[in-house]
Structure 1
Amino acid sequence: MAYSKEVFDAAMRRLEQRRQQTDAETDRTRAELYTHIPRLREIQDELAGTAVNAVREMLAGGDTAANMERLKKINLNLQAERAELLTANGLPPDMMTPKRYCRQCDDTGYVGDRVCDCLRTLLREEACKRANSGSPLPLRAFDTFDLSYYPDTPLPGADTTVRAYMGRVFAYCKQYTEQFSPTTSPSLLFLGGTGLGKTHLALAVANEVLGRGFSVIYDTAQNIFSKIEDEHFGRGEQNFTQTVYDCDLLILDELPDYATSFTNSTFYNIINTRTLAHRPAIVSTNLTEKELEARYGQKIFSRLIGDFWMFKFFGRDIRQLKLKKNIF
């Protein structure tokens, strides 16, 4: 996937910050070690000297291969002495080596001429950050989800109460975030009337998954569909659609009550592409199952019912209950 220069530069800045951080930590560690084990500083200076000598030998000509072999042997002996000194003092032999975030690319972003997985992850995160910048939805927390607003009355057709049932939905969503995987976690469909906590739980999941370092796009479904339409007709952000397809978790909140041919096509492409790539999404809607099928058609409805885990929300409009509580 091609990313904008802004996204690429932001990702590279984060790699540079990682390198600077590990270099600073290494410098502090070495300074402490040099104070307690002075020979370590001498070894480090001698190792730096062998590198300079190698360049001089090459420029001077002569038996380059023999000279390089001799310098290599000196270098290896110094490294062995350093490791023995560290081990003798109860320290790991690589104590003075920078602890890079990514061992594959040494925090450069590239393995040879191939883009490293760590850079791909940063690019996705930066693209998602920009995609979420215009979202009107504030992230939520599980701690502020109050089950006391759900009635402790029997749930129709079930041997449990509404509050107990919603407690199980809440517990599952928490477990979902704790075990989240961008390739194995299922997609979720939240069905229920207005103000029953669908958006709160979806955004609490987004908040926790983001906190674990995964890339998440969260917005109203209408906003996401509109941005994809703008990109399609050359009016909006480039690569937004691909970012929607590629992010680790997608939150589509509040499916519109109406659907155009473009909306239907866009919605189907999103869920179909992500399902085939085994990337999860959370879709919430105030529509009933019958209304969902009537608005969006059998093809989309079949995808949602067949490929998503469905959770129905019950209770009374929590926003209205909170309003009454504040008034009285």
Structure 2
Amino acid sequence: MAYRIPASFAVAAVELAVERGIDLPRLLVEAGLSPIRTRPHDLRVTAEQAVRLAVALRRMTGDELFGLGAAPVPRGTLHILSHAMAGVPTLREGIDRLAMLVKPLAGFPDLELEPCGRDHALRLHVPPGAGPLLTVMVAAIADRIIGWAIGRATPKVRVEFPFPEPPNSADIALLLGEEIRYGAGEFPALILPASALASPIAHDEQSVVDYVARAPGEWLASEPGTLPLARRVRQLIERGLARRHIVTAEELAAALTTSVPTLRRQLRQEGSSLREIRDEVLAKTAETALRTTDDPIASIATRLGFSETSAFTRAFHRWTGEAPARYRARLRETS
């Protein structure tokens, strides 16, 4: 995907960085841009160049917040926070864990999740006087991490900011959507529907590595990436099997906040189906169990949701062209 950080944010970030001692010509060279401009407000950058500026600022400052916060946030912090999000089952638990982990971080705002009518407000305790630039960037990063964690755009009711509507409000809408309320409350907040908090976390350790490798463009992209639906369904089925539970179509649809017919239709549009995904997961799990354990075939069949061993044998033959016993024996003959 093409990341698009609004140019007004890049220029404002560069202005603040220069005020704090960053060498502008060196920054431009680091970003692969011409150092001919000597004043930040003379910069004219495209959205793609803005991403390169953000990457260069992060590299030069060694700060996850690009040197714009009250105190540096050490490189690798957001990597750790992303790992924390990937290690829990639901978004609510992920936010609770994030709130606990960021408390000792001097440069990162505290997080607070609280009821807000029928919804919930994720309040970001950005220090007073931080200014609109840092406030919006923190909100955008929180929005992107949540969206990445659940594999889809964050389902916000609205975003609230404590400052009046600024001249570049159109750029803020590009990052965070049109439903923005200015002059609201003491701290910025993402207002989330209660149902969103039950959303399953859609990532594992490897996808954390991939995600962090795309930062910081991913954090401030105007079009946040989402996981393909088939992959999210596969992960839910795998997690169910890990708990020795066979996830039903109804449970999958509920976890993905959709209906079963819509889920089936969207999977068809991706060129997949529930049955194909389920068979792939069951086949892979069965092969692993036959290869790495001495568990009886009957117990493997039960664990995979088959009421009879004969039904599992027929299914395994359909998946692999071999009966389970023959598959296991062949592997042992060649080992």
TM-score between both structures, scaled by the size of structure 2: 0.25
Q: Which has the higher contact order (CA 8 A, sep 6+)?
A: 1
> Which has the larger helix fraction?
1
TM-score between both structures, scaled by the size of structure 1: 0.26
